[in-house]
Amino acid sequence: MKASTTGKLSIYLLLAPLAVWLFTLIILPHIDMFLISLHERVAPRVYRTSLANYAEFFNEPLYWRTFARTAIMSIVATAITLVVAFPISYYIAKMLRGRLKAVLFLLCLVPFWVSELVRTFGWMILLRESGIFSAVLQWTGLASAPVEMLYNDATIMLGLVYTSMLFMVVPLVTTLDSLDDSLVEAGYDLGGNGLTVLREIIVPHAMPGIVSGCIVVFMLTLGNYLTPVLLGGKDSMWFTAQIYTQFITRFNWELGSAFGFLLLGLSSLIVWSGLKLSRQTLSGTMG
């Protein structure tokens, strides 16, 4: 057997588990879910093919309003996460050296050693009416009665940003770490101020990390279920909660599948728009 043939066979064998995983757990379920979304129930266990489930989404204001609200809040959460994570990442990548750099980066990882459920319950313990923050406000005299800080949009946003922070910090630190310090120094030597250097040198260099971090955070936020439901309560109006209700509570798999595909279309459209606006490519960003 020729060496080139042996090499190709080795590559195919190495890629086989990945191909099986992609087809079995990603492609096949999505094909089946798409077919289910086209089923319209006309009688018990009798279905016909139609777009009735998608039409129901557009005819029911609660569904598309929740859809739009989820998209807008996910975009805002991604933007806030970027604003908060960028200076932290720059400080870790360019200001610290040696063991201190590793320690601070490790501290960013520590909260993710526990599950998202435990982290969300932690916020509930702090922010509930009988929680620590409410007790501190009453003890300091800033509040005369228990303060309920849960079940509002600000709390949902806080939880989403906290949950996604690491996924923005990691690509930013990796990208900023490759920025040559002499370029920044040259920017100042040529008369630039901090804002100019940030706009002309640092941000363009960090753009692949910014885009990849935004894509990951946006996708995680859009598909998040635990944080919006637990921190926002029954009035959180999050689209993944609508999907859960259709699948698990109402056993309406047809409408739930249609909702799932609408969410997939929305996320793909927003990611594509983000890549076009930032003039980045998906392969260049993820590579």
**The CATH number of the domain where 221 resides is what?**
1.10.3720.10
Domain for residue 148, yes or no? yes
Position 40 in a domain: no
Considering the domain boundaries, does residue 61 fall inside one? yes
Q: So what's the pLDDT on residue 1? A: 57
Contacts of 246 (CB under 8 A, 6+ apart): 252, 253, 255, 256, 259
pLDDT value at residue 193: 87
Domain for residue 19, yes or no? no
Residue 145 confidence (pLDDT):
87
Per-residue model confidence as pLDDT tens digits over 49-103: 999 999 999 999 999 999 999 999 999 999 999 999 999 999 998 888 778 888 8
Q: Does residue 1 lie within any of the structural domains?
A: no
Total structural domains within the chain = 1
Give the pLDDT confidence score for residue 287 in this predicted structure: 59
Query: For residue 31, is it within any domain?
Result: no
Confidence at residue 83, expressed as pLDDT on a 0 to 100 scale:
96
In a domain, 47, yes or no: no
Q: What is the mean pLDDT of each run of 10 residues along the chain (287 residues)?
A: 72 87 90 92 85 92 93 95 94 84 81 83 88 90 87 92 91 90 88 88 91 92 91 85 91 92 91 83 66
Residue 165 belongs to domain spanning: 52-286
In a domain, 6, yes or no: no
